[in-house]
Structures are given as structure tokens and as C-alpha cells.
Amino acid sequence: MPMLLHINSLLAPTTPPRRASASASARPLTQAQAHSARAAALGIRWSPGVAAAAAASPRTPMAVGEECAAAASVASQGFLSDARAYWVTRSLIAWNVNDNETSLFLYASRDATMRMSDGVIQGYDSKIELQPEPASLPDSVAQKFPFISSYRTFRVPSSVDVASLVKCQLAIASFDAHGNRQDVTGLQLPGVLDDMFAYTGPLGAIFSKKDVCLYLWAPTAQDVSVCFYDGPAGPLLQTVQMKELNGVWSVTVPRDWENRYYLYEVKVYHPSTSQVEKCLADDPYARGLSANGTRTWLVDINSETLKPPCWDELSDEKPNFDSFSDISIYELHIRDFSAHDHTVDCNFRGGFLAFTCQDSAGIRHLRKLSVAGLTHVHLLPSFHFASVDDNKSNWKSVDEAELAKLPPGSDEQQASIVAIQEEDPYNWGYDPVLWGVPKGSYASNPDGPSRIIEYRQMVQALNRIGLRVVMDVVYNHLNSSGPFDVFSVLDKIVPGYYLRRDINGQIENSAAMNNTASEHLMVDRLIVDDLLNWAVNYKVDGFRFDLMGHIMKSTMIKAKSALQSLTRDVHGVDGSKIYLYGEGWDFGEVAQNKRGINASQINMSGTGIGSRMDIIKVMKQTPGIGLAGNLKDYVLITHTGEAKKGSEIHTFDGSPVGYTSSPVETINYVSAHDNETLFDIVSLKTPVGLSIDERCRINHLASSMTALSQGIPFFHAGDEILRSKSLDRDSYNSGDWFNRLDFTYETNNWGVGLPPRDKNEENWHLIQPRLENPSFKPSKNHILSVLDNFVNILKIRYSSPLFRLSTASDIEQRVRFHNTGPSLVPGVIVMSIKDAQNERSGMALLDKNFSYVVTVFNVCPHEVSIEIHDLASLGLELHPVQVNSSDALVKQSTYQVSTGRFTVPRRTTAVFVQPRR
């Protein structure tokens, strides 16, 4: 579209949104260190011999003695390296076999001793013939597993003890009419486990006055016991056997065992090794952990000792808003917020408690944004993730004073950062281990109660300065899998269930690694239960779902319903105020509903759940639909003069630009933690000779488009103060140095060296001359000027409900775009929003102060004067906030009543209002 030619050429992203993949995020502990930590937690000495054995086949220390026998067994078990058959219900198995004369047999071995010898399966305990079913998969099964709907179906005899068989090593083999074996494979069990063992009762630790009951869902486990320890690193106290009922293992222990630490010891067949393993795992429903999650802390999350003063009354202090359309979001990484803030107690920097320092530079900054209208702070992952060591004594750091002496385009800074990046305290945290416990590295002490209390203090402190808290949740993948890794939990307890596997039985990795499978009922349940934990126990006000498209739509709907059912009287939480949104990208194995109806942007229309949309990218297709809430039924005039609905205009990949049924379903943004900051992308995309003043104007122009669009605006922390990451395009593991935020406004962090080689080297030839060019570096006055303009644009958004319309019908009735069609003036968007003029106007009166609002976005490098005859004879005047602005240019914006002529200076957003008299 020619209208946005200027700004599109400047701000178009170089790549689609990216995230730091868990596979790319190296862990803070090497494998040997991880086993050493686990061994220490178990009270086992980690000797060089043990280390060598683990290196050859990295088992938990408890299993190392079994190495030799296991090695001999593995070679003969290679025939079960895949799992291409699906046990989908108690009575049905599906496999993609074509020969109608094929007969199938199911083999089971409780001790995993099956092997292939001279083409014959041996070592099994039972062999069961399966009967072919003439019918295809039942509709309910085909809906749950649409990708195997064409598979042939075979019936399991009703006499078979299925509950015992699912605990075994299983194989299925096909034979031709002459009895010759054709094929053999393992089975995927989630379908039958859901059919037989789906469970709605208690899980985790349930406290009563006299005792504590532990419940663990593990239907494939052959045996489960609980190992209790004296403290986070103390010796084993005792091991208690659990009992099973319908797949749930439980035990009751005395209440005075509270505050002990424990691990589950699960004896279970693990398909990744084709052996029965003894796995030591944390509680999936853990509410407390030791450092690095080596043990689960047995804690009553409702204990009064874990609550800050007035915690139970926090719902009465929550900042109010009337509609989700009133929300605006500020995306912030916990460590970024205070790691360099010397107005914060040095013991609090980089952690939860920094938010309680009410007179710090960071809190003063957030308070300023809150007063202007900002409503929500979105915190990047703050649950227990793998990539940062919880023990601060193990952290390594660089000498920042020495790095500051290096040239702005040097590669030495990044080399120093990369050398320690796996042992420093920095990572975004998109590599989950356990979802339900705050991250220990952000707490003053990772053991015991600190992380719980301090997280609550953080939420409380933010609420008290007028900001609600959004938690970034990552349910689409897990850091680790298998029976041995210290960061593997769920896959140790029910192997092959929590993680989504392909048709060969291999774990799907499209969401980074170890994709989870919310189409499985107990995964779905765990996600919803975890959200309720954060909403009730931590009073979190909203949730942002990482790669939401990899989660099933049904899970999202269930989560929304469960959260909105929370009440202040019963739960101490008003669930109707909890907002959900996420990344609705549709890709990988879930694309086009291949695994069931997923939570992609298109599918989420009508749910009231938001998804993120790059507003500049949208407006490259059409200037209006992004500003009008990305509504699928909003009609606008294209540059050819054709009237089209938003759903009839498509992006380059063929998906519709307009996809929402309500403005609260779109999150509008131009910058996020992924990719470059707004200032960096402006600096990278604009001509080298452009002045810093003009770059600042472009920065603000992009932010104003986000702020004044219908829908929910989303801002990356620091974009309002020209934040730079020295042109780093993926700073997930780039340390404090490249991610620095300076709320004293002295610097924007530009020119602190070439960004890390791994993700940026291919662009170093573009980056280096810019970093070395002093004209690119803004002064403190530039930073303050952009901040003033950002605060003003927030004030304008919240000066009128017309900028925050809550329904599609309101937008369709009130919002118009005027510079459209073949005669449009390139580079200018003119958007009007009309309110009721009087009681007989046929629409509700929303704004008591203004009856008309007109916003003119001029992205051109020159002043524009444009006549809009439809807007002549109105009593428009420049918005009072802009009249009083420190921006001299915006104050030059004018409106001529007789002709409807708007004159707006270069690269300026001007807002005109018609006051009610």
C-alpha cells in the first residue's frame, strides 16, 4: 500500500517474531554438574567413576550400578526405537497398515525383556491377538487424533487387563496370511490413558489439620514411593511407599512433616530407553522447591507465615478498570527492571524485591506511566526454568567498567558476555521445568519460603502503584525429557504422555523442544490447575501464553472459564478481571488443526482471548484494519477504491488480516522482547544520514499508532526511552550488558559493542558502522523528549473512551477512515471516531467531554495539508494534552473549519477533538 510506504520501509521487521528456543538456551549446569547436584540432593557421593558411567549413559546416580546389564539389553531392543501404533481407547488400537489380510498381535513384558532374535520376538510375558474392526475410528477418537483418522482399527479383547498392560513394555507386530512377520513397533498410550484414567480428584500435597496427603497421577508406574529429606541438601530421612487406585498413587503423612523436602521415586517403563527405570522426580504440583529444583518443598501455600501483611485484602486494592478494552500492557523482564538500578538495594537488584523499593528510579518510572494510564505490567517468565542457576554464589559476571572502555563497535564486549553466558544470572526463561513455583534465582534465597513471599510482595507492590500483573506462561514446551535429566519432571512420571510425539513416536520440537500435548486430558488439567494456582495463590491479574497456537483451543476456553469463575468472596480474586492473551501463530505439527482445533488467531475469534498482532505489519496490507481492532467484518476502502472486509484482505502468507470478533481479541504492538527494540530497528532501517531527531520522531510515531488503535496496546519496556540493545536481534541470553535498562535516562544503551556473534554476525557489516557513528546515539534530552511524548499519548488514549471501544459494533458504527481510495494522499492516515451528538443520534453517548475525535498520522518526512470534506464544519481543536506538549512540532498542527483541512508537521501524530459545549 502506498499510504504507508515511508514507515513500512523503515520499520518492516527483518524476520518474523522469534523466541529464544529451549534448545538454543544452554542450561546453567552441564550434564555432569546436573547429576552431581542430584546426587548431592540424594546424599550420594559423586565420584569420578560414577561420573564416567553417567557420561557413557547418563542415568540418575541411583541407577548407575545397572549400566552393564542395561548396555547388553539395549542392543537387542532397538526394534522398539519407534512407536507408530496408537492405543486410543481401552478397546481400540490404531495402526497404519494397509493389508486387509494382516493379523496383529500385542506383546507385553513387565520387566522390559523383549528382544528380537532371528526375526522372532522373544522375552514377552503375554501375547494377545487383536481383532480387525470393520469400522473406522469412532468420531470422538478421530476428533482427538485427526492426524490418524485414516488408520485401521483393531479391537483389544475385553478379557485383557488393560490397567496392567499399560505398565509394561509393549510391542505390536503384524503378520501376513502365511504367518510371516511384516512389521513391529511400539505403542503411544495417551488415548487409552485418557479413556481409562482421566482424573478430577486432588493432586499434589493436600493439607489438613492432622496430616498431609500426597497424590500423584502415574497410571503407567509399576511402583511409586516418596523419599523425604532433611532440608534442601540434607540426608535422606525415610522412604514411604505409596498405594495406587485407578492410576493415582497416594500416601498420608503426619502434618508435622511439613517443610520437609521430598522426591517421588517412580519405577516405570520408559520408551526412550526401552527399559524399566527408577526415576527421581519433583512433584508436578509442587508449590515449593529447593534451589534448581533438586527437591520439592512440602509447603502449605495457604500458611499465614507465607503472606505479606494485608495480603488477603489485596483484591480490595487492585487498580480498577471497566472493560478489557481499557487495558494497556508494558512487557518487562524482571532482571532488566533493576539489575543496573543503583537506587535499589544491592541485595534486591535483579529480583522480585526490587519492585518493593518504592522510591527507586524504576518504580518512579512505572508510577509515571501508571498515572498516565498504563494498566498492566507483563512479566517475562518467572516460574521455575532451567537456564539460570538459582545459587547466586555460582554466578559469573564481567567487569562492566572495563567493557565500557571499549569502542562502541568492538567485538570484545560480546566475546566477554558469551564466555560466561551459561553461568551468568541472565536468561529470558522460556525453558520451563516446573510451572507452579516462582523462579529461585529472582528470590533472595532459592530454598524455603523466600520465593513465595517475595513474589507476592512484588505483585502487591505493583498493584499499589496502579499496575496489574500479567504472567508470561510457557505451557507449549518443556526444557527436558527422558528419565535422567535433572530438569526432566513430567516425562519421568508418565513417560510419553505429557509430550506430543510424531507418527513415529519421536518428540515434536517445533515449539523449541519437548512440545507438550494439551490435547491429552491430564496435560489440559495441569495447565488449568496451574493457572488457578497463580491466580488464587499469587493474585496474578492476567496471563500471556507463549506460542498459544500450540495449545488446544478447548484448553484455552476451559482456562478462561475456570479463571473467570473465581470470586472475591470465595477465592479472594475477581476472576472477571483476569485477561488472557497469547501468540496465535499457526505452524508446526498443530498447523491447520492437524492435532485438533488449536488456539491460533483465526480459531480464537469470538472467544474474548487476545492474540498479538504487529500493527505495522498489518497496516502494510491496509492502513485501516490494524487501527480498527483487526475486526474480520470491518469494511474499509482499499487503495483501489474497493470495499472489503478485514477477513477478505490477506497477508503475504494468505491468512486474513482481519480475524477478530471483538477489539479485546487483538494485542497491537510494534516491538516486543523478540527481535530488535523499536529504536534499534528504526536505527537499522532508516538512512544512515537521517538525524537522531528524526529517528526519535519515527520511534514516537510508531508508539502512537499502537497507543491510539482500537484493541489493546502492548509496549516493550524501554521503547518509551529509546531503549537499545546495541542492535541485538535476539537478546534472550545476552546478559545484563546488552539488555540494560536505565531509568535515570542517562543512556539508552546504544553502542555497547557488537551484539553476540551467534544471532547477529551476518549483519555485523551493517551494525558496526552505525554503532561507531556518534550521530546515532541519543542524548538525555532526546530520551526525555520521547518519554514526554509517550506519556502524553497515553494520556490522550485515556482521555476518551472513544479510543477504547469495547465491541465490534461500536467500532463499525463510529470509526471511519477518510484518506482512502485511488485519490489518497500517500503517507497519511486520517481516522475519525464519532460519539453521540445528542439524544436522538441513534448511538450511545460514551464520552462526556468530546463528541468527535480525529487522529492524523503523518509518516511523511514533510508537512502535509489535506482536506477531508466529510470532516468540515466540526468544532475540532488540537487535543489539550498536545497543546501543552513540550513537542514544538505537534503544536503547529491545525484544522480549518470551513474546508476540513488538516495541516500536520512531518512525522507527527496529531489528535483533534470536538469538545462538548
Phi, psi of 462 (to 5 degrees): -65, -40
Beginning with the edge strand found earlier in the chain, give each strand of the sheet holding 815-817 in spatial order. Answer: 815-817, 828-834, 850-858, 908-915, 877-878
- State residue 54's pLDDT score: 32
The rounded mean pLDDT for the chain is: 91
Q: Tally the C-alpha atoms within 13 A of residue 901's C-alpha that lie toward its C-beta.
A: 7
Q: For the residues 721-737, what does the mean pLDDT come to? A: 98
Task: Work out the number of other CB atoms within 10 angstroms of the CB of residue 634.
Answer: 24
Q: Are the C-beta atoms of residues 22 and 512 closer than 8 Å to each other?
A: yes
Longest dimension (CA), the chain: 96
Nearest C-alpha neighbor of 214 from the set 260, 268, 168: 260
Nearest C-alpha neighbor of 292 from the set 450, 434, 421: 434
- Banded pLDDT at 177 (limits 50, 70, 90): confident
- State residue 885's pLDDT score: 97
Q: Are the C-beta atoms of residues 288 and 204 closer than 8 Å to each other?
A: no
Phi, psi of 203 (to 5 degrees): -140, 155
- State residue 61's pLDDT score: 35
Cell numbers given for 873: 464544519
Q: Is the pLDDT of residue 244 over 80?
A: yes
In whole angstroms, what is the distance from residue 435 CA to residue 384 CA? 6
For residue range 682-691, what is the model confidence (pLDDT) as tens digits?
A: 999 999 999 9
Q: For the residues 782-799, what does the mean pLDDT come to? A: 98
Q: Is the pLDDT of residue 17 over 60?
A: no
Sorted by sequence, the CB contacts under 8 Å of residue 231 that are 6+ apart come out as 261, 447
Q: For the residues 102-119, what does the mean pLDDT come to? A: 94
DSSP letter, residue 755? P
For residue range 842-874, what is the model confidence (pLDDT) as tens digits?
A: 899 999 999 999 999 999 999 999 999 999 999
Name the more confident of 102 and 33. Answer: 102
- State residue 77's pLDDT score: 52
Annotate 204-214 with b (16+ C-beta within 10 A) or e (fewer): bbbbeeeebeb
- State residue 71's pLDDT score: 43
For residue range 197-223, what is the model confidence (pLDDT) as tens digits?
A: 999 999 999 999 999 999 999 999 999
Task: Work out the number of other CB atoms within 10 angstroms of the CB of residue 16.
Answer: 12
- State residue 376's pLDDT score: 98
Q: Which single residue is written with the C-alpha cell 522398539?
A: 80
Cα–Cα distance list, 655 to 591, 601, 621, 659, 664 (Å): 12, 10, 11, 9, 20
Name the more confident of 620 and 198. Answer: 198
For residue 858, the one-letter residue type is N
- Triad 319, 322, 327: Cα angle to 5°: 70
Rg over CA atoms, the chain: 30
**Bridge-based pairing state of the strands 610-614 and 579-582:** parallel
In whole angstroms, what is the distance from residue 216 CA to residue 229 CA? 18
Catalytic residue annotation: 546, 583
Sorted by sequence, the CB contacts under 8 Å of residue 206 that are 6+ apart come out as 212, 213, 214, 215
Q: Are the C-beta atoms of residues 278 and 495 closer than 8 Å to each other?
A: no
Q: Is the pLDDT of residue 13 over 50?
A: no
Q: Which single residue is written with the C-alpha cell 492516515?
A: 829
DSSP alpha helix (H) spans, 471-587: 490-493, 521-537, 553-564, 568-571
For residue 774, the one-letter residue type is P
- State residue 664's pLDDT score: 97
Name the more confident of 614 and 496. Answer: 496
Long-range CB contacts for residues 177-180, cutoff 8 Å, separation at least 24: 177/101, 177/103
Task: Work out the number of other CB atoms within 10 angstroms of the CB of residue 165.
Answer: 21
Q: Are the C-beta atoms of residues 852 and 874 closer than 8 Å to each other?
A: yes
- Banded pLDDT at 242 (limits 50, 70, 90): very high
Domains of the chain: 85-196 (2.60.40.1130), 197-306 (2.60.40.10), 321-785 (3.20.20.80), 808-915 (2.60.40.1180)
User: Quick check: helix, strand or coil at residue 870?
Assistant: helix
Q: Is the pLDDT of residue 27 over 80?
A: no
Q: For the residues 533-548, what does the mean pLDDT come to? A: 98
- Triad 531, 532, 534: Cα angle to 5°: 65
- State residue 7's pLDDT score: 36
- Banded pLDDT at 617 (limits 50, 70, 90): low
Task: Work out the number of other CB atoms within 10 angstroms of the CB of residue 681.
Answer: 24
In whole angstroms, what is the distance from residue 341 CA to residue 361 CA? 7
Q: Is the pLDDT of residue 276 over 70?
A: yes
- State residue 516's pLDDT score: 98
Q: Is the pLDDT of residue 164 over 70?
A: yes
Name the more confident of 160 and 839. Answer: 160
Q: For the residues 23-41, what does the mean pLDDT come to? A: 38
42-51, 181-190, 871-880: least confidently modelled range: 42-51
- State residue 652's pLDDT score: 77
For residue 845, the one-letter residue type is L
Q: Is the pLDDT of residue 83 over 50?
A: yes
Q: Is the pLDDT of residue 4 over 80?
A: no
Give the sign of the dihedral formed by CA 213, CA 217, CA 221, CA 226.
negative
- Banded pLDDT at 9 (limits 50, 70, 90): very low
Nearest C-alpha neighbor of 7 from the set 912, 910, 909: 909
Helix (H) or strand (E) holding 369: helix 361-372
Question: Exposed (0-12), middle (13-18) or buried (19+): which is 612, by Cβ within 10 Å?
Answer: buried
Nearest C-alpha neighbor of 278 from the set 269, 287, 291: 269
Helix (H) or strand (E) holding 9: helix 5-11
* Percentage of the residues of the chain whose pLDDT score is greater than 70: 91
Annotate 240-274 with b (16+ C-beta within 10 A) or e (fewer): eebebeebbbbbebeeeebebbbbbbbebbbbbbb
pTM, to two decimals: 0.92
Name the more confident of 670 and 14. Answer: 670
- Banded pLDDT at 615 (limits 50, 70, 90): low
Name the more confident of 651 and 319. Answer: 319
For residue 375, the one-letter residue type is T
Q: Is the pLDDT of residue 741 over 60?
A: yes
